[in-house]
Amino acid sequence: MRLKIIIWLPLLFIMACGGGGDTNVAGGGIGGTGMSSGPISAFGSIFVNGIEFETDDTIIIVNGQETTESDLKIGMVVQVEGTIDPNSNTGNASRISFNENVKGPIQEIDDDTLIVLGQTVTVDRLTVLDSIIEVTELKVGDVVNVSGLVDAEGTIHATRIVRESSIAEFEIVGQVEQLDLAKQTFVIGSLTIDYSHVLILEVSGGVLNNGLMVEVKGQFAGAFPDDVLMASSVQTEDDFLSGEVGTIIDIAGFITRFNNRFDFEVAQLSVTTTAQTVFLFGNADDLALDVKVEVEGKLDANGVLILEEVIFASKRTPSGRLEIEADVENISNQNITLLGLSIETTHSTQFVDRRDDKVPFGLQDLRIGDRVEMRVFLDLATDTLIAENLVREEENGQVALEGPVDNVDANVGTLTILGLTVQTETETVFEDERLSRSITAEQFFESVQNSELLVEAEGILMGNVILAKSLEISEL
């Protein structure tokens, strides 16, 4: 399927909420008011972590400057302070703030991986792209603004990428490493930063330390990318995940340190499970370094998050991902039908309008016959397809379906994906993404006959059969 990347999930995490009071937080049935942090999935109010926040009297801060809601975009990882009602999945936001991970020129591009100001940035099917349609439009030297999640190695898994026309200063957020007090330099990722002529130094005690999370602004004094970044400003990042005993926090991100199930970190916050912790789409044995999870719990007196729920975000379906591109056939309540498949949308579903650029855009704006592309996962407990995101697009004639294969019959050239029959023809083109080349029909059917593989089918819908123009074995 075309790399038209649309998001999933601040700097080191995408979902958090906390506080104290009489309301509850969605997801675990635990009470509290306070904070939520994650990517904006939709507008019409603002949807963050499946909660619809009213913003009538909200203070909105973008990169340290007070602004308006119009400057907030889908895929931005924001921090929300306010109240939450779990019964209706609604809340009132008193403050929303946003700050990107890195803003600067691209040094290298390799498929879906970028190097920006010395930081490795990965792009996936859930990344929102702004000012471009395909990641292949980007080139070395382009200035981009990146928001995303950071794993244990410091790689930024982008939730939103914007190509900028021009900016006054480059920006980066990360941990201070290799601090040299004599030379007044330090490193974030592979970028060396010189703070000897800094104009603004706002850190505790006025002294930098290794491991300190900071935001740096500056320019290159010499030729990019071989020179160091000359910092004009170095400021400590606020510790959003700190709070009083009992503060509710809901985080989605990577396990950045792992000792055992009772001692690990998610987005660098210390967490622990208990005998009462509920696991979804996996179990305690699946916990490991760099596993993406969503966790929810309450802070104890030591600042450790006692987990009530763990969701394995990357294991929602055995194959890892399902994708559908077709015309909307039916809309009923929160469900959309494509290719005869009923898909449930939720408050966490991300909505993007590529056709008309409508903002806000949501389920209420869809019509039967609209062309959409959806990324979904299969809830094995209920056998329900759940939408992660939805993109309205221009009609292009063909439909596309990517998922696990079953019921292969090489003799008649058919297979099924999600129960839908795909019929090959003599003109069908067969490709193998793993080999980066075309293959024969015999090689294709031999590969998928006895393997759990993802296959993408593109073709013409005839009744309830896809006449395949192309079939591609996808990389898992």
- pLDDT tens digits for range 21-41: 333 333 333 345 567 777 888
| Domains 322-393 and 399-474 equal at CATH topology level | yes
Does 170-236 carry CATH code 1.10.287.610?
no
Question: Average pLDDT, whole number, for the chain?
Answer: 84
For tokens 């039916």, what's the residue? 330
How much is the pLDDT for 226?
A: 61
Q: Among residues 155, 174, 160, which one has the least CA distance to residue 229?
A: 174
Tell me which DSSP letter residue 154 carries: -
How much is the pLDDT for 1?
A: 41
Q: Please report, for residues 187, 266, 276, 285, 310, the alpha-carbon distance to residue 273 in angstroms, rounded to integers and kept in the order given.
A: 34, 12, 8, 12, 9
Instruction: Enter the CATH code of domain 322-393.
Output: 2.40.50.140
How much is the pLDDT for 416?
A: 93
Would you tell me how many other CB atoms lie within 10 Å of the CB of residue 270?
A: 16
**What residues contact 182, with CB distance under 8 A and at least 6 apart?**
none
How much is the pLDDT for 4?
A: 34
Q: Among residues 125, 318, 109, which one has the least CA distance to residue 225?
A: 109
DSSP per-residue codes, 250-273? EEEEEEEEEEETTEEEETTEEEE-
How much is the pLDDT for 20?
A: 35
**Domain residue ranges in the chain:** 1-164+241-313, 170-236, 322-393, 399-474
- pLDDT tens digits for range 367-411: 999 999 999 988 777 788 889 889 999 988 899 999 888 889 999
Architecture of domain 399-474: Beta Barrel (2.40)
**What residues contact 290, with CB distance under 8 A and at least 6 apart?**
151, 152, 153, 254, 255, 256
How much is the pLDDT for 181?
A: 92
Residues of the chain short of pLDDT 50, as ranges, are 1-31, 319
For 64-73, which contacts have Cβ atoms below 8 Å and span 24 or more sequence positions? 64/99, 72/40, 72/43, 72/46, 72/96, 72/98, 73/40, 73/128, 73/130, 73/160, 73/162
How much is the pLDDT for 320?
A: 53
How much is the pLDDT for 84?
A: 72
pTM: 0.80
